[in-house]
Protein backbone atom coordinates (compact mmCIF):
# COMPACT_ATOMS: atom_id res chain seq x y z
CA UNK A 1 0.00 0.00 0.00
CA UNK A 2 2.78 2.43 0.96
CA UNK A 3 4.64 1.73 -2.27
CA UNK A 4 1.50 2.42 -4.37
CA UNK A 5 0.94 5.68 -2.47
CA UNK A 6 4.48 6.85 -3.09
CA UNK A 7 4.24 5.97 -6.76
CA UNK A 8 0.91 7.79 -7.22
CA UNK A 9 2.25 10.86 -5.45
CA UNK A 10 5.17 11.00 -7.86
CA UNK A 11 7.74 10.99 -5.08
CA UNK A 12 11.00 9.29 -5.79
CA UNK A 13 13.43 8.59 -2.97
CA UNK A 14 17.00 8.81 -4.12
CA UNK A 15 19.80 7.85 -1.73
CA UNK A 16 22.52 10.43 -1.55
CA UNK A 17 26.09 9.22 -1.47
CA UNK A 18 28.47 11.82 -0.16
CA UNK A 19 32.16 11.03 -0.14
CA UNK A 20 34.04 12.49 2.80
CA UNK A 21 37.63 13.64 2.56
CA UNK A 22 40.27 15.15 4.77
CA UNK A 23 40.85 18.88 5.06
CA UNK A 24 43.14 20.31 2.36
CA UNK A 25 44.18 23.42 0.52
CA UNK A 26 41.29 25.66 -0.42
CA UNK A 27 38.42 23.32 0.42
CA UNK A 28 36.64 21.12 2.93
CA UNK A 29 34.45 18.21 1.98
CA UNK A 30 30.91 17.67 3.19
CA UNK A 31 30.56 16.26 6.70
CA UNK A 32 27.84 13.89 7.92
CA UNK A 33 25.63 16.81 8.89
CA UNK A 34 25.91 18.17 5.36
CA UNK A 35 24.94 14.76 4.00
CA UNK A 36 21.75 14.66 6.03
CA UNK A 37 20.91 18.23 5.05
CA UNK A 38 21.34 17.38 1.38
CA UNK A 39 19.15 14.31 1.69
CA UNK A 40 16.31 16.15 3.41
CA UNK A 41 16.50 19.24 1.22
CA UNK A 42 16.72 17.22 -1.99
CA UNK A 43 13.66 15.23 -0.95
CA UNK A 44 11.85 18.52 -0.37
CA UNK A 45 12.84 19.73 -3.84
CA UNK A 46 11.52 16.55 -5.44
CA UNK A 47 8.28 16.73 -3.46
CA UNK A 48 7.71 20.33 -4.49
CA UNK A 49 8.31 19.44 -8.13
CA UNK A 50 5.90 16.52 -7.92
CA UNK A 51 3.19 18.74 -6.44
CA UNK A 52 3.72 21.53 -8.95
CA UNK A 53 3.65 19.08 -11.87
CA UNK A 54 5.67 21.52 -13.96
CA UNK A 55 9.09 23.24 -13.69
CA UNK A 56 9.52 26.95 -13.10
CA UNK A 57 9.52 28.83 -16.38
CA UNK A 58 12.71 30.69 -15.43
CA UNK A 59 14.59 27.46 -14.75
CA UNK A 60 13.26 25.27 -17.54
CA UNK A 61 15.98 23.51 -19.55
CA UNK A 62 14.64 24.86 -22.82
CA UNK A 63 14.76 28.46 -21.61
CA UNK A 64 18.27 28.06 -20.16
CA UNK A 65 19.93 26.19 -22.99
CA UNK A 66 17.93 25.94 -26.24
CA UNK A 67 21.24 24.98 -27.88
CA UNK A 68 24.62 24.00 -26.45
CA UNK A 69 26.45 26.77 -24.58
CA UNK A 70 30.22 26.56 -24.72
CA UNK A 71 32.47 28.09 -22.08
CA UNK A 72 35.96 28.10 -23.55
CA UNK A 73 39.23 29.99 -23.30
CA UNK A 74 41.91 31.08 -25.74
CA UNK A 75 44.15 28.29 -27.02
CA UNK A 76 47.19 29.64 -25.16
CA UNK A 77 45.45 28.87 -21.85
CA UNK A 78 44.48 25.31 -22.78
CA UNK A 79 46.43 22.54 -21.07
CA UNK A 80 48.29 24.86 -18.70
CA UNK A 81 47.88 25.95 -15.08
CA UNK A 82 46.89 29.58 -14.54
CA UNK A 83 46.30 31.41 -11.28
CA UNK A 84 46.02 34.98 -12.56
CA UNK A 85 47.00 37.21 -15.43
CA UNK A 86 49.72 39.76 -14.95
CA UNK A 87 49.40 43.49 -15.58
CA UNK A 88 49.22 45.21 -17.88
CA UNK A 89 45.59 44.33 -18.39
CA UNK A 90 43.06 46.28 -20.40
CA UNK A 91 41.00 47.18 -17.35
CA UNK A 92 41.22 46.90 -13.56
CA UNK A 93 39.34 43.62 -13.42
CA UNK A 94 38.98 40.74 -11.00
CA UNK A 95 37.06 37.45 -11.13
CA UNK A 96 34.96 36.07 -8.29
CA UNK A 97 34.93 32.26 -8.27
CA UNK A 98 32.92 29.84 -6.13
CA UNK A 99 33.71 26.15 -5.60
CA UNK A 100 31.99 22.96 -4.41
CA UNK A 101 28.36 23.73 -5.30
CA UNK A 102 25.69 23.98 -6.35
CA UNK A 103 24.22 23.60 -2.85
CA UNK A 104 20.86 24.49 -1.35
CA UNK A 105 20.57 27.74 0.58
CA UNK A 106 24.07 29.17 0.11
CA UNK A 107 24.21 29.00 -3.70
CA UNK A 108 20.79 30.63 -3.88
CA UNK A 109 21.82 33.37 -1.47
CA UNK A 110 25.03 34.07 -3.37
CA UNK A 111 23.16 34.18 -6.67
CA UNK A 112 20.74 36.73 -5.22
CA UNK A 113 23.60 38.97 -4.06
CA UNK A 114 25.31 38.75 -7.46
CA UNK A 115 22.03 39.54 -9.19
CA UNK A 116 21.46 42.61 -7.02
CA UNK A 117 25.01 43.80 -7.74
CA UNK A 118 24.79 42.96 -11.47
CA UNK A 119 27.93 40.84 -11.25
CA UNK A 120 28.72 37.68 -13.19
CA UNK A 121 30.89 35.05 -11.51
CA UNK A 122 32.37 31.64 -12.25
CA UNK A 123 31.16 28.53 -10.42
CA UNK A 124 33.37 25.43 -10.35
CA UNK A 125 30.80 22.69 -9.85
CA UNK A 126 31.10 19.28 -8.20
CA UNK A 127 29.41 16.76 -10.50
CA UNK A 128 27.65 14.98 -7.67
CA UNK A 129 26.07 18.25 -6.55
CA UNK A 130 24.94 19.08 -10.09
CA UNK A 131 23.32 15.64 -10.21
CA UNK A 132 21.42 16.25 -6.96
CA UNK A 133 20.56 19.90 -7.58
CA UNK A 134 20.30 20.46 -11.35
CA UNK A 135 17.88 23.36 -10.95
CA UNK A 136 20.54 25.40 -9.18
CA UNK A 137 23.02 24.76 -11.98
CA UNK A 138 20.37 25.83 -14.48
CA UNK A 139 19.77 28.99 -12.50
CA UNK A 140 23.47 29.84 -12.54
CA UNK A 141 23.54 29.61 -16.32
CA UNK A 142 20.19 31.38 -16.75
CA UNK A 143 21.52 34.33 -14.77
CA UNK A 144 24.63 34.68 -16.91
CA UNK A 145 27.28 32.96 -14.83
CA UNK A 146 30.00 30.63 -16.11
CA UNK A 147 30.40 27.00 -15.05
CA UNK A 148 33.62 25.05 -14.61
CA UNK A 149 34.39 21.41 -13.84
CA UNK A 150 35.47 20.54 -10.26
CA UNK A 151 35.33 16.70 -10.54
CA UNK A 152 32.56 14.39 -9.40
CA UNK A 153 33.56 13.45 -5.83
CA UNK A 154 36.05 16.19 -4.88
CA UNK A 155 38.67 13.61 -3.95
CA UNK A 156 42.24 14.38 -2.93
CA UNK A 157 43.82 10.91 -3.07
CA UNK A 158 45.96 9.68 -5.94
CA UNK A 159 43.92 8.40 -8.91
CA UNK A 160 44.88 6.31 -11.89
CA UNK A 161 44.11 7.58 -15.38
CA UNK A 162 40.76 5.78 -15.63
CA UNK A 163 39.46 7.07 -12.31
CA UNK A 164 40.68 10.60 -13.11
CA UNK A 165 38.93 10.42 -16.46
CA UNK A 166 35.67 9.32 -14.85
CA UNK A 167 35.87 12.11 -12.26
CA UNK A 168 36.08 14.77 -14.96
CA UNK A 169 33.99 13.27 -17.73
CA UNK A 170 31.07 12.26 -15.50
CA UNK A 171 30.96 15.83 -14.22
CA UNK A 172 31.07 17.19 -17.76
CA UNK A 173 28.12 14.95 -18.62
CA UNK A 174 26.13 16.03 -15.56
CA UNK A 175 26.70 19.71 -16.35
CA UNK A 176 25.68 19.25 -19.98
CA UNK A 177 22.58 17.22 -19.17
CA UNK A 178 21.44 19.74 -16.56
CA UNK A 179 22.26 22.97 -18.39
CA UNK A 180 23.27 22.34 -21.98
CA UNK A 181 26.73 23.72 -21.14
CA UNK A 182 30.07 22.40 -22.38
CA UNK A 183 32.99 23.85 -20.47
CA UNK A 184 36.76 23.69 -20.87
CA UNK A 185 37.36 25.32 -17.47
CA UNK A 186 38.72 23.04 -14.74
CA UNK A 187 39.78 23.56 -11.15
CA UNK A 188 41.34 20.63 -9.30
CA UNK A 189 39.95 19.96 -5.80
CA UNK A 190 42.24 21.31 -3.06
CA UNK A 191 44.36 22.83 -5.82
CA UNK A 192 46.09 19.43 -6.14
CA UNK A 193 48.15 19.17 -9.31
CA UNK A 194 49.76 15.76 -8.79
CA UNK A 195 46.96 13.29 -8.02
CA UNK A 196 45.92 12.48 -11.57
CA UNK A 197 43.00 14.76 -12.39
CA UNK A 198 45.08 17.76 -13.47
CA UNK A 199 47.14 15.55 -15.77
CA UNK A 200 44.00 14.27 -17.45
CA UNK A 201 42.64 17.82 -17.76
CA UNK A 202 45.87 19.03 -19.38
CA UNK A 203 45.89 16.21 -21.93
CA UNK A 204 42.32 17.06 -22.89
CA UNK A 205 42.94 20.79 -23.31
CA UNK A 206 41.13 22.03 -20.23
CA UNK A 207 42.35 25.31 -18.79
CA UNK A 208 43.52 24.38 -15.27
CA UNK A 209 42.47 27.40 -13.23
CA UNK A 210 43.78 28.04 -9.75
CA UNK A 211 43.45 31.30 -7.78
CA UNK A 212 45.56 34.25 -6.70
CA UNK A 213 43.36 35.47 -3.85
CA UNK A 214 42.27 32.96 -1.19
CA UNK A 215 39.42 34.07 1.06
CA UNK A 216 40.09 31.06 3.32
CA UNK A 217 36.34 30.81 3.89
CA UNK A 218 36.78 27.03 4.26
CA UNK A 219 38.33 27.80 7.66
CA UNK A 220 35.10 29.60 8.60
CA UNK A 221 36.75 32.79 9.83
CA UNK A 222 34.79 35.78 11.10
CA UNK A 223 33.12 37.92 8.44
CA UNK A 224 35.59 40.77 8.97
CA UNK A 225 38.55 38.37 8.69
CA UNK A 226 37.14 36.88 5.50
CA UNK A 227 36.71 40.34 3.96
CA UNK A 228 40.25 41.32 4.95
CA UNK A 229 41.65 38.10 3.47
CA UNK A 230 40.21 38.97 0.07
CA UNK A 231 41.12 42.66 0.10
CA UNK A 232 44.70 41.97 1.22
CA UNK A 233 45.47 39.85 -1.85
CA UNK A 234 43.26 41.59 -4.41
CA UNK A 235 45.07 42.68 -7.55
CA UNK A 236 44.18 43.44 -11.18
CA UNK A 237 43.88 40.25 -13.18
CA UNK A 238 43.32 38.11 -10.09
CA UNK A 239 40.95 35.27 -9.28
CA UNK A 240 39.25 35.20 -5.86
CA UNK A 241 38.58 31.80 -4.29
CA UNK A 242 35.35 31.41 -2.33
CA UNK A 243 32.85 28.58 -1.81
CA UNK A 244 29.11 28.16 -2.24
CA UNK A 245 29.12 24.50 -1.16
CA UNK A 246 31.05 21.96 0.87
CA UNK A 247 29.76 23.03 4.28
CA UNK A 248 28.39 25.99 6.19
CA UNK A 249 28.98 29.07 4.03
CA UNK A 250 27.04 31.61 6.12
CA UNK A 251 30.19 33.71 6.60
CA UNK A 252 30.80 33.80 2.85
CA UNK A 253 27.25 34.98 2.22
CA UNK A 254 27.56 37.68 4.88
CA UNK A 255 30.98 38.82 3.67
CA UNK A 256 30.24 38.88 -0.08
CA UNK A 257 28.39 42.26 -0.22
CA UNK A 258 31.15 43.86 1.86
CA UNK A 259 33.84 42.42 -0.43
CA UNK A 260 32.04 43.66 -3.53
CA UNK A 261 31.50 47.16 -2.13
CA UNK A 262 35.14 47.48 -1.03
CA UNK A 263 36.51 46.30 -4.38
CA UNK A 264 34.17 48.64 -6.26
CA UNK A 265 35.51 51.55 -4.19
CA UNK A 266 39.00 50.53 -5.30
CA UNK A 267 37.90 50.80 -8.90
CA UNK A 268 37.55 47.11 -9.75
CA UNK A 269 35.23 45.69 -12.37
CA UNK A 270 33.99 42.11 -11.99
CA UNK A 271 34.28 39.62 -14.82
CA UNK A 272 33.98 35.89 -15.40
CA UNK A 273 37.13 33.81 -15.78
CA UNK A 274 36.89 33.58 -19.61
CA UNK A 275 36.46 37.37 -19.72
CA UNK A 276 39.43 37.77 -17.40
CA UNK A 277 41.67 35.65 -19.62
CA UNK A 278 40.65 37.75 -22.61
CA UNK A 279 42.32 40.71 -20.85
CA UNK A 280 45.75 39.13 -21.25
CA UNK A 281 47.99 41.30 -23.37
CA UNK A 282 51.67 40.67 -23.96
CA UNK A 283 52.72 39.96 -20.36
CA UNK A 284 53.72 36.37 -19.56
CA UNK A 285 51.31 34.14 -17.73
CA UNK A 286 51.59 33.67 -14.01
CA UNK A 287 51.15 29.97 -13.37
CA UNK A 288 51.29 27.94 -10.22
CA UNK A 289 54.00 25.75 -11.73
CA UNK A 290 56.14 28.75 -12.68
CA UNK A 291 55.95 30.00 -9.10
CA UNK A 292 57.09 26.64 -7.79
CA UNK A 293 60.03 26.56 -10.17
CA UNK A 294 61.11 30.02 -9.05
CA UNK A 295 60.78 29.06 -5.40
CA UNK A 296 58.00 31.60 -4.81
Q: What is the set of active-site residues?
A: 99, 243
Q: Are strands 81-82 and 207-209 parallel, antiparallel or unpaired?
A: parallel
Q: Where are the alpha helices (DSSP H) in 53-105?
A: 61-64
Give CA–CA dist 141/219, Å, rounded.
28
Per the omega criterion (within 30 degrees of 0), is the bond before 88 cis? yes
Q: What angle do CA 283, 287, 288 make, to 5 degrees?
A: 155
Give CA–CA dist 154/167, Å, rounded.
8
The count of C-alpha atoms lying within 13 angstroms of the C-alpha of 254, restricted to the half-sphere facing its C-beta, is 12
Helix (H, G, I), strand (E, B) or coil at 93: strand
Selection from 145, 150, 134, 65 nearest residue 112 by Cα: 145
CB 286 within 8 A of CB 84: yes
Give CA–CA dist 287/294, Å, rounded.
11
CB 161 within 8 A of CB 139: no
Amino acid sequence: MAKRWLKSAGIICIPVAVVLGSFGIGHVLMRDTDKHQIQSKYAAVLSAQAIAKKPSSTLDVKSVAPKPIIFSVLQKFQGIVTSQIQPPVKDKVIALTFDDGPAPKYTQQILEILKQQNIKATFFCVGEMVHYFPQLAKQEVAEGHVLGNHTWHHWLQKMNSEVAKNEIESTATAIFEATGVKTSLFRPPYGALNNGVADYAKKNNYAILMWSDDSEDYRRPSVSKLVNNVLREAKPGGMVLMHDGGGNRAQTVAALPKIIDALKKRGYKFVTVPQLLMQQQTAPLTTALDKLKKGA
